[in-house]
Every structure is written in structure tokens, then in C-alpha cells.
């Protein structure tokens, strides 16, 4: 789900080696080096910003709290991380990555050029670029200027996109699911206790942040579930006739988990149908299942009621270091589900004047089906 | 202006909400802010013989940058967005994702609002609808987007077009009455938050727990966003985001509390000691307070930002800390505040920006000192004829948490 991007990430984030030790990054870097060899690259430059940093975090553990960072990862030699923050802030940035050399990107020539020179100039070089589509034009110009004519920059997004979910990643996603379940539960309880929808969402956020969530995003419906809205701050009292429809996503140790939250004093037909749709999705989700089939199975119970428009035509997608790791489950999707993937599944409908609803779950694809990691509280 | 200048606890939240009634009403009807800006933009387009202006935002809400779409429409969209203004003054807001259109339309001051999942295509359609020749168009904020989206938008515009990325910053550099009221409300939230922090932070709590409580408390008072840094050490090198450190006696807690209310960020910088501060710490903190007062006095309309910065540095230099008035011992002496306009920019001695009556920014002579570590002292200010008036009720002091 798209949510409003906050200006910074507030919660604690560091390089917790008991959870993601250095040898884990050696494995990830070895895979990246193999990709460099396949592509004939002397190095990979991996970019991430405060909004989207999945690849950057995967290889470096670093998440930019504001602005951006660029990892300089050579085939041979020392890695370096350039962070778009002041030199004053570098000691704190060094706590978030295994890369020993973390320098400010604000002195570009002294941060990037000496590292580049270390690659050697004996022959024309090719350097792979990951997520440069996110980079601001002026920054790209600075990179290209430093590379000059003797170095060739090639897109290498596939090197990062094809990565499998590592066992330790799944463990961390389980933790995130525990936190989002606690947040969603608090959200629902506050509403059932008579709180208005924004107060209830804030209760959910508070519960998740108390469990060390680094970021919490919520959306709520003020119109009975037809659409969602970000924080308004009006904290209106609960309307007895309006059902609850909301969304909560948490980021914990870098990994996202998300759930929709819904309830009504008098459950209606739409709510029953979306729940049946989710159950069908859970039965169908397994290795080798076609994404398009999964979409069809999930939506068959909706009848002529359209898929809820907040879902953007999809009943799910992979989730992890980003809320959207791709592989969306759409009517026209062509991929198949793979063992080890983690999906956020959402089946929803809106049928005015009846209330809208979405039932959701977080699942890990196993060898013979899927394991439910979290589910909308009921 | 030329358009072609291309350069805690629920109970305490309830208590605070009741007290809130004494604060100037920031929600006063003043829709004319965006209307006036749209009209000014149309006038600037006519004067420059241009067809249209396209303002863009990448779905980011930086507290250090203007949000050109918000400045012109009054809407903070969820995702990437644009505002199209033509020389007749007709305007269109384009928001992503498509499902956010209804909310955006209810808030927007533009004539039309469109929801889309393909910003570049919707922008091309809007330019056609407005009969705008892309060759006679100026963009604002295109350079803040990722190159992937920039390329798609340039393709929609038929190639590269002229840019004026400072337009929104200049257009909104003086806060309108409604915006100033919102900035005052944001400051009020920050101060209530800090009071709550003083009652909540104690030995045994972790930094992130305190930051989480502070964040949620201020959100309960209406803060839609918050640039919140909060960290502790016996000898800080700088302020940083909260970590897992368990607070204990003798820790000096630094906090940069920056709630956003109705698009107006306001920042207070505070230094808090757990236990009794040493006389030396009191003495050194007083230096920062003195520097703050010097900066406020110097910050009159027409003064250069460089001169104001120098006045603060001079206080520290006079005490023997001249060599520390540079990174990494400090960053800047203050800065503009998004998301409306970040004018006058960073407070550095190199800046020749001139202050104007009604500008709002944060002034903070935060400083690393070798004997005490990094200390923080700062307030949001508005420029008046007699200097920089703090929006906060109580200036920063060296506060302590009793143990």
C-alpha cells in the first residue's frame, strides 16, 4: 500500500550482528560478485533513498533515514558507503552497516573519486548500477562526471532483484509480523472499546512502536471503507453505524509487515465474501501456483463486486525490505509463486452503499503450500 | 519575482488538548493563500510569455525542502504528484495513487483534481487539456524526482524544458497568516511534547521507547509528521536518531523535536541531563543561550544570513571556541523549514541570503564543546522589525530529570 512517506525514520536501527551477522553479508556479497563476473563489472554501485532502499539494505544493512546513500561495492578491494549527510553525522551512520568506510557524500570528489581510482585504470571499466532510476538527475550527473569516458555504467537492477529470501530474512519478517499483529490487535481493540478510528489507529501505532518498530504507517477510512486516508488529526469520536476499515504497516529491523484491520457491529455480505476470498488465496498459494490463477481464485467470491480500488488491481505482492518487492498478483500476471517467497495477500471489495472491506494475511511460501505469518485480527 | 530566475499517556494527551484551546486557531479559514499563489503564478507566466508551469513532488515530505505541489494546491499527496497552472490561472492537481483522488479533490484549491497511477501520462493529458505548449512551459521540482520518472515526464513533455526549482521557495518564502498560525501550533505541540518527555524519560528506559512515546504523544495533539532526533551520551558527538541505549544517570539527552502541523514544521532543540548537571555544563550551556540571543538580535529584516550566523559564531569564538565553529563540531546555525518554503536556507557564514519580515525558520547554535560534548539550544523564529521572535513560550534551558 502507498502511504505518506514520513520525513525521517524515528525508531532504532543498527547493525545487530546477533540477528544479521557479518557472514550473512559475505554470502550476499559473494552472490553479487558472481553477478559482477557475469556482467563483466569491476564494481556495483547500489543506490537507495529514504523511501526505497531494498537493494541497498540487503547488501549493506544500511537504511537512509533521510535523503540517500550509495554503496560502492568493488569486485575486489574495499567497499565504501557514501551517505548524504554532514560529516558531523558520520559516527552515527557507521553504526548501521558492516562497511567500515562510511563517508559523507557532500564532498563528492573526495568521497567517490579516490575509491574509483582504486579500481585501476589499466583497461576500460564497466560498473554496474542498481536502482539508479531513483537517483536525482544532478546526482547521476556527478557519478557520470566522475566515471568519465573510460568507464561504462550499465544497469544491473536484475542482480539485486533476483535475490532469494534468506533464512535470516524470514526470521526477521516473522518478528515484523509479530509486531504488526500486536499493532493491528491494539488498533481493533481500541475501536471496539469505543475509540474513534484515528485514535484507534494511533493506539495501534503506539503498540507497534513500543515493540521497537522503526516506522509505522496507518491509513483509515472515514467513509465506511470505500476509501482510505492518511492521518487527518481530527480524532473524531466513533460513529456507531460506521464499520472499522484501516491499514497498518510496520518496519522492524528493516523488514515490513502489513495488515488491514476491519470490523463491524453487524458484519455484512461484503465482509463475508472478502474473507472467503482470502481463504481461497491461502489454499491456492504454494510453489508453482500461477499468480494469475491465485488472483482468479481470490476474487471469485467477490462476484460482480469489483476488487477494492485501494488495492490497485492486485491481491498481493512480495514484501520484505520494501513494502513492494514486486511479483504483484494481478489478473494478467505471468509469474509463478516460488518457495521461500513472502507475500502480503489482500482480498477486498467495495460495494456502495454497503461498507468496503479487505481481508489480509502475510504468508511465507513453503514446499507444500504456505505458512500464515500474520492475519487480519478478527 | 521573475518566473525565469533559473537558479504517553492518553490522559496527558487529553489535558494537552484542553489547553490547546488557548492557542491561536490554526485552522482559521484562509483558503486565499493557495488561491493567491495560483494567481501570482498565472501573472508570472503572462509576464514571461509562457504557457504553463508544472510543479512536481516525488512523494517526499522533507522538512528541509519546499513541496511545490503543496505550496500551490494545499494538498500533501500520498505519492508522486504534480500541479499544472496555465497563464489564464486555471489549474489541475494530479495525484498518485489513483485512489487518493477523492481526498485530494476535497482539499485542493486547484480547479481540477485527477487521480492516476501513471503520473507522466496524466501530466501529458493535462497539458493537452490546458492547451499548454510544452516548449513554453517551466517546471518546478522536476530535479527532485528520480531519473526514471524524470525521463518519462520529459518524454511526455516532448523533451527537456526550462526549470526554475526555486520558484515555490520564493513564492512561499513569507508565511501567510494561516501558515504562521500553523507554525505557532506546531511549536506549541513541540513544547507540550518536550514537557511530556521530561515526565517520561528516566533511567532504565531505552532511547527508542522515549522517542516512540514522544512521537505518539505529539501525533495525538495533531502532528502529522515529525523530524525527531533523540539520543543520549555522557559525551555526545552530535545528535542522532534514537537507538537502543538504556538511559542512566549522568546521560545528556539531546533532542531535536520537529512536529509538522498542517504542513508547517517547527523545531525546538533541547538539552536534558539525567541527574544534576555540573557547574561546568551550566556554564557552557549558557554560552549557547548567549549565542542564541545574539542571533535573534541580529536577525532583523534586511540582515544577511551570513552576518546573523557570524554573530552567533562570535559569541563562541569570544569564549575560545572559534576553531569549533565548523563541521564536524556543528553543522549549521539554523535552517529553513519545509514543507512550504525552506527560505532563507541554511544559516551559514557563506550565505548572502537576506532576511525578510515574516520569514520563519529555526535558529540553533548547537555546538560540540570539548569539555561537555555536543549541546543543543534552538527555537523556531519569525523575523520581525526588532529581530527574530521565538515562536516558543520558553527558551531552551539546561533541564534536568531528577533521580
Judged on CB neighbours under 10 Å (0-12, 13-18, 19+), B186 is: buried
Q: List CB contacts of B286: < 8 A, sequence separation 6 or more.
A: none
Domain boundaries along the sequence of chain A: 22-161, 167-375
Is pLDDT at A239 greater than 90 in this prediction? no
A22-161 against A167-375: fold identical: no
pLDDT tens-digit profile of B245-278? 999 999 999 999 999 999 999 999 999 999 999 9
Percentage of the residues of chain B whose pLDDT score is greater than 90 = 90
Alpha-carbon gap, residue B382 to B402, rounded angstroms: 34
Percentage of the residues of chain B whose pLDDT score is greater than 70 = 92
Percentage of the residues of chain A whose pLDDT score is greater than 70 = 99
Q: Look at residue A351 in the predicted model and tell me its pLDDT.
A: 80
- Residue in chain B closest to A230 (alpha carbons) equals B78
Q: Look at residue B21 in the predicted model and tell me its pLDDT.
A: 42
CA distance A371 to chain B (A): 30
pLDDT confidence band for B24 (50 / 70 / 90): very low
On the CB side of A147, how many CA atoms lie within 13 Å of its CA?
22
Q: How many helices (H) and strands (E) does chain B have?
A: 11, 19
Alpha-carbon gap, residue A298 to A281, rounded angstroms: 5
Helix (H) or strand (E) holding B203: none
Q: Look at residue B4 in the predicted model and tell me its pLDDT.
A: 63
Is pLDDT at B10 greater than 70 in this prediction? no
Scanning A190-209 for CB atoms below 8 A from B yields: 199, 202, 205-206, 209
| Residue A252: alpha-carbon gap to chain centroid | 11
Q: Look at residue B77 in the predicted model and tell me its pLDDT.
A: 96
Q: Is B328 at the interface with chain A, CB within 8 A? A: yes
Is pLDDT at B359 greater than 50 in this prediction? yes
Q: List CB contacts of A138: < 8 A, sequence separation 6 or more.
A: B143
Q: Is B102 at the interface with chain A, CB within 8 A? A: yes
Alpha-carbon gap, residue A297 to A333, rounded angstroms: 13
pLDDT confidence band for B30 (50 / 70 / 90): low
pLDDT confidence band for B314 (50 / 70 / 90): very high
Q: Is CATH 3.30.930.10 the classification given to domain A167-375?
A: no
Q: Is B247 at the interface with chain A, CB within 8 A? A: no
- Give the mean model confidence (pLDDT) for residues A63-72: 95
The sign of the torsion formed by the CA atoms of B114, B177, A3, B52 equals positive
DSSP A243: P
Which of A8, A88, A206 is facing B216, going by the closest CB pair? A206
Is pLDDT at B7 greater than 60 in this prediction? no
Scanning B380-399 for CB atoms below 8 A from A yields: none
> Residue B215 and residue A65: Cβ atoms within 8 Å?
no
**CATH topology for the A22-161 domain:** Creatine Amidinohydrolase; Chain A, domain 1 (3.40.350)
- Give the mean model confidence (pLDDT) for residues B196-200: 98
Judged on CB neighbours under 10 Å (0-12, 13-18, 19+), A69 is: buried
Which of B79, B102, B216 is facing A209, going by the closest CB pair? B216
Judged on CB neighbours under 10 Å (0-12, 13-18, 19+), A191 is: buried
Among B20, B60, B247, B330, pick the best mutation site for testing chain A contact (most A Cβ within 10 A): B60
> Residue A6 and residue B226: Cβ atoms within 8 Å?
yes
pLDDT tens-digit profile of A353-373? 778 999 999 999 999 999 999
The residue to which cell 539485486 is assigned: A160
Q: List CB contacts of B150: < 8 A, sequence separation 6 or more.
A: A137, B142, B143
Cell output for B116: 492516476
Cell output for B130: 490546458
Is pLDDT at B32 greater than 60 in this prediction? yes
**B340 and B71 in contact (C-beta within 8 Å)?**
yes
**B190 and B256 in contact (C-beta within 8 Å)?**
no
Chain B residues with beta carbon closer than 8 angstroms to that of A309: 98-99
Q: What's the start-to-end Cα distance of chain A, in Å?
A: 21
Other residues' Cβ atoms within 10 Å of the Cβ of residue B160? 11
Q: List CB contacts of B192: < 8 A, sequence separation 6 or more.
A: B16, B19, B217, B218, B221
| Residue B213: alpha-carbon gap to chain centroid | 22
Amino acid at each position: 500500500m502507498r502511504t505518506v512517506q514520513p520525513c525521517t525514520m524515528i525508531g532504532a536501527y543498527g547493525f545487530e550482528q546477533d540477528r544479521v551477522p557479518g557472514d550473512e553479508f559475505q554470502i550476499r556479497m559473494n552472490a553479487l560478485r558472481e553477478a559482477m563476473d557475469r556482467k563483466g563489472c569491476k564494481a556495483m554501485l547500489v543506490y537507495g533513498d529514504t523511501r526505497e532502499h531494498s537493494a541497498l539494505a540487503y547488501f549493506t544493512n544500511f537504511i537512509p533515514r533521510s535523503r540517500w546513500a550509495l554503496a560502492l561495492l568493488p569486485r575486489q578491494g574495499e567497499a565504501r558507503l557514501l551517505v548524504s549527510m554532514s560529516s558531523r553525522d558520520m559516527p552515527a551512520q557507521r553504526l548501521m552497516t558492516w562497511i567500515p568506510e562510511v563517508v559523507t557524500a557532500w564532498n563528492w570528489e573526495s568521497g567517490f573519486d579516490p575509491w574509483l581510482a582504486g579500481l585501476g585504470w589499466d583497461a576500460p571499466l564497466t560498473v554496474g548500477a542498481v536502482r539508479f532510476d531513483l537517483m536525482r538527475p544532478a546526482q547521476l550527473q556527478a557519478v557520470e562526471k566522475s566515471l568519465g569516458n573510460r568507464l561504462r555504467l550499465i544497469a544491473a537492477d536484475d542482480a539485486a532483484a533476483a535475490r532469494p529470501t534468506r533464512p535470516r530474512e524470514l526470521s526477521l519478517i516473522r518478528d515484523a509480523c509479530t509486531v504488526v499483529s500486536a499493532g493491528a490487535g491494539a488498533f481493533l481493540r481500541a475501536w471496539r472499546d469505543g475509540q474513534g478510528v484515528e485514535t484507534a489507529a494511533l493506539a495501534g501505532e503506539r503498540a507497534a512502536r513500543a515493540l521497537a518498530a522503526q516506522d509505522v504507517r496507518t491509513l483509515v477510512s472515514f467513509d465506511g471503507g470505500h476509501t482510505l486516508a492518511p492521518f487527518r488529526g481530527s480524532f473524531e469520536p466513533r460513529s456507531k453505524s460506521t464499520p472499522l476499515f484501516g491499514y497498518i504497516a510496520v518496519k522492524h529491523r528493516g523488514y515490513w509487515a502489513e495488515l488491514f484491520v476491519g470490523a463491524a457491529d453487524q458484519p455484512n455480505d461484503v465482509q463475508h465474501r472478502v474473507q472467503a476470498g482470502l481463504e481461497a488465496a491461502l489454499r491456492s498459494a504454494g510453489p508453482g501456483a500461477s499468480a494469475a490463477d491465485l488472483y482468479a481464485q481470490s476474487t471469485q467470491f467477490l462476484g460482480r463486486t469489483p476488487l477494492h480500488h485501494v488495492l490497485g488491481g492486485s491481491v498481493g505482492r512480495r514484501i520484505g525490505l520494501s513494502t513492494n518487492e514486486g511479483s504483484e498478483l494481478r489478473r494478467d500476471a505471468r509469474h509463478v509463486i516460488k518457495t521461500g517467497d513472502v507475500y502480503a495477500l489482500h482480498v477486498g471489495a467495495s460495494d456502495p452503499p454497503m461498507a468496503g472491506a479487505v481481508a489480509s494475511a502475510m504468508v511465507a511460501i513453503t514446499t507444500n503450500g504456505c505458512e500464515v505469518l500474520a492475519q487480519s485480527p478478527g | 519575482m521573475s518566473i525565469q530566475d533559473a537558479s504517553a499517556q492518553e490522559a496527558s494527551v487529553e489535558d494537552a488538548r484542553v489547553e490547546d484551546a488557548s492557542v491561536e486557531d490554526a485552522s482559521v479559514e484562509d483558503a486565499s493563500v493557495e488561491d493567491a499563489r495560483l494567481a501570482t503564478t498565472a501573472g508570472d507566466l503572462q509576464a514571461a510569455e509562457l504557457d504553463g508551469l508544472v510543479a512536481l513532488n516525488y512523494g517526499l515530505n522533507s522538512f528541509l525542502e519546499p513541496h511545490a505541489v503543496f505550496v500551490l494546491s494545499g494538498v500533501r499527496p500520498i505519492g508522486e504528484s504534480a500541479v499544472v497552472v496555465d497563464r489564464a490561472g486555471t489549474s489541475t492537481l494530479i495525484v498518485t495513487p489513483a485512489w487518493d483522488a477523492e481526498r485530494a479533490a476535497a482539499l485542493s484549491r486547484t480547479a481540477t483534481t485527477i487521480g492516476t497511477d501513471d503520473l507522466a501520462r496524466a501530466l501529458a493529458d493535462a497539458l493537452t487539456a490546458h492547451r499548454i505548449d510544452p516548449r513554453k512551459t517551466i517546471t518546478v521540482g522536476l530535479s527532485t524526482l528520480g531519473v526514471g520518472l524524470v525521463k518519462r515526464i520529459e518524454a511526455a513533455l516532448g523533451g527537456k524544458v526550462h526549470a526554475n526549482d526555486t520558484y515555490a521557495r520564493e513564492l512561499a518564502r513569507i508565511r501567510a497568516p494561516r501558515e504562521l498560525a500553523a507554525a505557532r501550533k506546531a511549536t506549541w505541540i513541540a513544547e507540550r511534547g518536550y514537557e511530556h518527555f521530561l515526565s517520561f524519560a528516566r533511567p532504565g528506559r531505552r532511547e527508542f521507547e522515549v522517542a516512540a512515546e514522544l512521537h505518539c504523544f505529539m501525533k495525538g495533539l495533531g502532528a502529522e509528521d515529525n523530524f525527531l532526533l533523540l539520543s543520549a551520551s555522557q559525551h555526545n558527538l552530535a545528535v542522532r536518531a534514537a537507538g537502543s541505549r538504556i538511559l542512566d544517570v549522568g546521560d545528556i539527552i539531546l533532542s531535536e523535536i520537529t512536529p509538522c502541523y498542517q504542513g508547517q514544521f517547527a523545531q525546538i532543540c533541547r538539552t536534558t541531563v539525567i541527574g544534576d548537571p555540573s557547574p561546568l555544563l551550566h556554564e557552557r550551556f549558557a554560552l549557547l543561550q548567549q549565542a542564541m540571543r545574539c542571533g535573534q538580535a541580529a536577525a532583523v529584516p534586511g540582515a544577511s544570513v551570513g552576518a546573523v550566523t557570524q554573530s552567533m559564531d562570535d559569541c563562541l569564538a569570544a569564549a575560545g571556541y572559534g576553531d569549533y565553529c565548523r563541521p564536524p563540531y556543528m553543522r549549521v546555525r539554523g535552517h529553513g523549514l519545509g514543507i512550504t518554503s525552506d527560505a532563507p536556507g541554511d544559516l551559514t557564514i557563506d550565505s548572502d541570503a537576506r532576511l525578510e519580515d515574516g520569514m520563519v525558520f529555526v535558529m540553533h547554535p548547537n555546538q560540540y564543546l570539548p569539555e561537555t560534548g555536543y549541546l543543543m539550544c534552538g527555537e523556531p523564529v519569525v523575523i520581525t522589525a526588532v529581530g527574530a521572535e521565538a515562536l516558543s513560550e520558553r527558551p531552551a534551558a539546561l533541564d534536568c530529570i531528577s533521580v
